[in-house]
Structure 1
Amino acid sequence: MDVSRRHILAGLGIASLGGCLERFTSNSGIQLGSLRVANTADKPHTVDLVLERDGSRVYNELVEVDPDNHVWIDPTWSSEPAEYDLYYTVSGSDEVSIAELTDAPDDIDGECVVADLWTVMSPSGPDVLLKDIGRYEEATCNF
């Protein structure tokens, strides 16, 4: 484990951003089920993940993903509507990326969504997409 990256998310990186993004619990937001971390690269990636639900940390783990593979994270958080912030750092970078997960795309048919994090997808780097949970047999919601 790269201790410097771990400190970014566990300490200063999140603490310095937390006050700016504090939210109040409400019925707005999305119904978030599983997280999926996909690695399309030809080398393994480690991803440091922190998920906040309405401003409270509900997940904080280091995930290792083999080349051309993915890892599912089952929700331990409630899938009732909320606003989420997903903080992540992919191996090889000390930059903390933030995905604000507040609105589901219009093409989502179901109520619950999957947050799909791709370690290598676009020229700008990692990306997080929200997708209908019905697309994945492995995905679950926690109602």
Structure 2
Amino acid sequence: VIKDGWHGDTSRMYFVGTPSVMARRLVETTYEAMWRGIRAVRPGATLGDIGHAIQSYAEGERFSVVREYCGHGIGKVYHDEPQVVHYGRPGQGLVLQPGMTFTIEPMINEGTRYNKVLPDGWTVVT
């Protein structure tokens, strides 16, 4: 959505059919990790605080955090600075200021954090 020159960004995951226990656990963990990242947002916090909240929860649940994709600033431009990675150390990175707008969209894997882009240049597999 673009409203009065400002971009919006949203997504939601849905199951098709009945998911396996592990698939359901992965989705539930990712959702909770996202909310933990959101709860870390406040003036004076850092991007590392957000990433750490996500990473520590996901890894504590025995999942891994993808490093190649991240959240992003959003506003008059759809993909803008800053890059909002979903891993990190508390107190590190950009300090959050009032008025900043960005997405938090963690990508969590069941196996390792590694992924591969297929020859079509679009599809990513883990």
Structure number with the higher strand fraction is 1
- Where is the helix percentage greater, Structure 1 or Structure 2? 2
Larger Rg: 2
Give the structure-2-normalised TM-score: 0.32
TM-score after normalising by structure 1: 0.29
